[in-house]
Amino acid sequence: MELLISIVKIVVVMGVMLGIVAYIVLLERRLSAAIQNRIGPNRVGWQGLLQPIADVIKLVFKEDIVPYKANRFIHDLAPIISLAVALTTFAVVPFGDKINLFGYDIKLQIADVNVGILYILALTSLGVYGLTLSGWSSNSKYALLGGVRSSAQMISYELSMGLAVLGVVMIAGSLKLDAIVEAQAGWKWNIFLQPIGFITFVTTAFAETNRLPFDLPEAEPELVAGYHTEYSGLKFGAYYLSEYANMFVSSAIITTLYLGGWQMPFVHSFGFSDFWISIIQVLGFLAKVIIIVSFFIIIRWTIPRFRYDQLMNLGWKFMLPISILNLLLTGAAVLWGIL
């Protein structure tokens, strides 16, 4: 029975997540358009609501071109790594409390790993392989430059990311994401307790997901399309999807670590039944995630792209000291019992 519940959970979460990611693409396109005083895709379906489906159909029917002298096997493998990493990271993110369905208490989290945060950090580091290998196997200088940049960028920012997360871990006293969410009950959200950590984490999350202002691996003006220059058709689709899946997952992680996860203050004071409270919590979690995603999109049209040396300077000379400082401050606060 446990196994069956797990499988059902995986299927449902995967389906819902892919749907949400597809619509994040639409959200990005419409919001970007609105920011640029355009309308955006609004032809397929009502207000363009079927646009993601049309996009997917288009990508499926496109020709798959592998460049001359490219390493065919790695060229095929790289997008799969990217997509797999982006989708599996969500497995440890709790998106709700327990829910009671048909007499079973179902935990709204696919895998309750007791080192959840380490799992996330490990998998996001694996994501580099997808980008670097794609650049390396494409036999194209632009792709190679993009891949090399992505590896350097991710390694530099992973460090500050880990240190920023440590502050949260210290407060919660556990690596379990569940426990971290539990610790933020009420208004004790980590964004208020850890403002510096929040800022560093969000910045590094931008760098990890290759979003502007840190999208150096695919900097269009210099590198055509960066690491996925030589990809077309379904494989390009996989990269496209994994980029947005990454964005969704990092928003989910930001929500979990800093915005109280599925915790909705005062939700118990309205007197709903337990079932509806669970539903509201899941929806609240999704709402927070969507807000962070919109934040990602707005930042994209606000801050111009960093130069490569600026990116490295920011990472090593600014983000790293600040996250260490944050760590020390949190340590002191925990030691003297302030937090």
Partner 1 sequence: MKQKPIVHRKDLHWWEQFYIPQIINGMRITLSQVFRPKFTRQYPEEKWNPPSSFRGRPVLVEQNGVERCVACGLCSRVCPALAIDVQASETELLKERYPVRFEINMLRCIFCGFCEEVCPEEAIVMSKEFELVFRHQEDAIFGKEKLLLPADKLKDRLEFLRKNR
CB under 8 A: which stretch of 34-42, 113-121, 130-138, 277-285 binds partner 1?
A: 34-42
**Closest approach of partner 1 to the CB of residue 240, in Å:** 23
**8 Å CB contact between 323 and 163:** yes
- DSSP line for 228-274: GTT--HHHHHHHHHHHHHHHHHHHHHHHHHHS-TT--TTGGGG---H
- Dist. CA 87–CA 22, nearest whole Å: 13
Q: How far is CA 236 from the centre of its chain?
A: 19
Q: Two tokens at 119?
A: 């799992």
Site residues (CB under 8 A) for partner 1, limited to 279-308 = 298-299, 301-303
Site residues (CB under 8 A) for partner 1, limited to 185-224 = 199
The reply on whether position 35 binds partner 1 by CB under 8 A is yes
**Closest approach of partner 1 to the CB of residue 289, in Å:** 19
The reply on whether position 31 binds partner 1 by CB under 8 A is yes
Residue nearer to partner 1 on the CB measure, 275 or 318: 318
Site string for partner 1, 54-93 (x = CB under 8 A): ----------------------------------------
Member of 1, 37, 69, 336 binding partner 1 (CB under 8 A): 37
Q: How far is CA 41 from CA 38, 44, 60, 62, 150, in A?
A: 10, 8, 20, 20, 30
Site string for partner 1, 238-267 (x = CB under 8 A): ------------------------------
**Closest approach of partner 1 to the CB of residue 267, in Å:** 28
Sole residue written with tokens 């997360």:
165
The reply on whether position 313 binds partner 1 by CB under 8 A is no
Q: Two tokens at 69?
A: 């002298």
- Dist. CA 242–CA 217, nearest whole Å: 14
The reply on whether position 338 binds partner 1 by CB under 8 A is no
Residue nearer to partner 1 on the CB measure, 75 or 288: 288
Q: Which of 215, 238, 235, 233 is nearest to 225 (CA)?
A: 215
Member of 8, 12, 19, 36 binding partner 1 (CB under 8 A): 36
**8 Å CB contact between 135 and 146:** yes
Q: How far is CA 136 from CA 78, 86, 140, 223, in A?
A: 10, 20, 8, 14
Q: How far is CA 135 from the centre of its chain?
A: 21
The reply on whether position 44 binds partner 1 by CB under 8 A is no
Q: Two tokens at 166?
A: 């440590």
**Closest approach of partner 1 to the CB of residue 96, in Å:** 30
Q: Which residues bind partner 1 (CB under 8 A)?
A: 31, 33-39, 199, 298-299, 301-303
